[in-house]
Amino acid sequence: MLHSTQCRTTPDHETLISSSWSAGCRRWPLPGRSGWLAAMVALVLTFGSGGVALAEQDDEPKDEAAKKVYALPGFRDIEPKRTIVVGNDRELRQATRDAEPGDHIQIKPGTYRGDIFINELAGTADDPIFIGAKHAHEPPVIRGGRQGLHIVRPRHVMIHDLLIEDVALNGINIDDGMRPGGASHVTIRNVRVRNVGGQGNEDGIKLSGVQHFVVQSVTIERWGVGGSGIDMVGCHHGEIIESRFIHRAGVLSGNGIQAKGGSTEIVIRHCRFVNAAGRAVQIGGSTDLRFFRPEPAGFEARNITVEGCKIIGSAAAVAFVNAEDSVFRHNTVFRPTHWVLRILREQHARGFAPTRNNTFERNLIIYDAQSINDVANIGPGTEPLTFRFRENFWFSEDRSRSVPVLPTADRGAVIGRDPRFDGPLPGDLALSENSPAIGYGATAEFEPTRISSIWRSVNPDHEEDGSLVSPGP
């Protein structure tokens, strides 16, 4: 029997569709809510602290400390050159068409039509362009249309504090216009996307050919049945951190996050997935050769790291698909419905290597051996013997079946010991003080994976002196 403290509920909650391990609980506290609110308040104070307001002068007080929000990747401690406040569809579209380096477009609370198209939105390293809420605690709503927000060839741009909903295709679509290198230095922060797409391949956020990017503190809820919460095609040098992906229970297709089309050097850290489609994280995929960036090089994804994440439900926690040299580590996997991991080959074009040379280590895996198909689903045309399994913590409710069947030995594994969670399940999946699983999974401290050519992490717990990253959502 899996042990945890007595069940309880709080006003701030999510809903878990599958509840057989939740001791009757269907709700749990939202992780880090206070921290997110504080960050939003800092954004409001900062963005209102300077510049020439063309539409109106912002009367919010200056806060010198809050200016540190501009210390984002590629964005130094600066104030916008001018502030443009917009309050209706016409003003918003005009402001985005006319935006210049150093502009901050502040959007008043209200509802705005989707299908906002922006071409060649170009800031600079010294003078980025910001588009987002005038008041972070009252994010404007972009509703309807085929695409909520479509930006082609942005450079040095930050999108922040928006709610995008009820869109037919993609919530946010950012691409390079099929010119590699044309979309770079993009930050999406404190954005919520929900109820987008239908039965097809529609995404919460779609990134195509984007380089040097950060997606931080976003929430994606319910996307197309065949799509992804975030879909990356030919993207390089990026971080997706401290974000949440919540989908419909029982969906066996699609992904929470997908990186394919030749994507490289991407870190997915401290994210939370709840019933996030068939594959919570897919490293690789199957991409039309025309859409690889910069060009096909024999793999769908390389050097992708998933670390410090909590994955609840989904048919599989992670799928490696024509992927190589990637790592899945320090994640907590709670009761996937079909498999823990999948090793697949879905790209059959000539010159592509099989899925190979990936690492699965220091994860905490809680699964029901009686209900899943297999721990590892291995497809034909792959090289599972090149996978490295190291020091994972495995626990099945039926302890006699906790020993996982893997393609290679899991060296240093802990098997069949109750991890002893603290609080209702799945909750925040925190461990009790006497847990034998301390040091494993998402709640452990670990040295973060660094991407050599990204500016720097925007995680406030990641210090430049190399100190450890603390647990996330």
316 and 445 inside one domain: yes
For the chain, the maximum distance between any two Cα atoms, rounded to a whole number of angstroms, is 69
In a domain, 17, yes or no: no
3-state secondary structure of 116: strand
In a domain, 9, yes or no: no
3-state secondary structure of 401: helix
Return the closest-CA partner of residue 245 out of 278, 212, 213.
278
DSSP one-letter string for 264-325: EEEEEES-EEES-SSEEEEEE----GGG-SS---S-SEEEEEEES-EEESSSEEEEEESEES
414 and 269 inside one domain: yes
Q: Which domain holds residue 136?
A: 31-142
Cα 390 from chain centroid?
Answer: 25
pLDDT, tens digit, for every residue of 67-122?
334 445 545 566 789 999 999 999 999 999 999 999 999 999 999 999 999 999 99
pLDDT, tens digit, for every residue of 332-347?
999 999 999 999 999 9
136 and 265 inside one domain: no
Q: Which of 13-27, 131-145, 205-219, 378-392 has the lowest mean pLDDT?
A: 13-27
In a domain, 436, yes or no: yes
420 and 321 inside one domain: yes
Please state, rounded to an integer, the average pLDDT across all residues of the chain. 84
For 88, 115, 174, 310, 408, the CA distances from 329, given in Å and listed in that order, are 46, 38, 29, 11, 17
In a domain, 21, yes or no: no
- Pair 9, 25: CB distance under 8 Å: yes
Phi and psi torsions of 456, nearest 5°: -175, 165
Last residue of one domain, picked from the residues 125, 142, 159: 142
Domain count, the chain: 2
3-state secondary structure of 66: helix
> Which region, left, alpha or beta, applies to residue 211 given φ > 0 means left and ψ of -120 to 50 means alpha?
beta
Angle at 31 between CA 26 and CA 34, to 5 degrees: 125
Q: 261 pLDDT exceeds 60?
A: yes
250 and 373 inside one domain: yes
Looking up residue 290, the CATH number of its domain turns out to be 2.160.20
Phi and psi torsions of 365, nearest 5°: -120, 120
3-state secondary structure of 471: coil
286 and 241 inside one domain: yes
123 and 199 inside one domain: no
75 and 124 inside one domain: yes
pLDDT, tens digit, for every residue of 424-472?
888 899 999 999 999 999 999 999 998 765 544 333 333 333 333 444 5
**DSSP-derived pairing of the beta strands 393-396 and 364-367:** parallel
Task: Determine how many CB atoms are found less than 10 A away from the CB of residue 360.
Answer: 27
Burial of residue 429 (CB within 10 Å: 0-12, 13-18, 19+) is buried
Q: Which of 113-117, 250-254, 380-384 has the lowest mean pLDDT?
A: 250-254
User: Virtual CA dihedral for 415, 421, 425, 429, nearest 10 degrees?
Assistant: -90
In a domain, 320, yes or no: yes
The residue that leads in pLDDT, 43 or 207, is 207
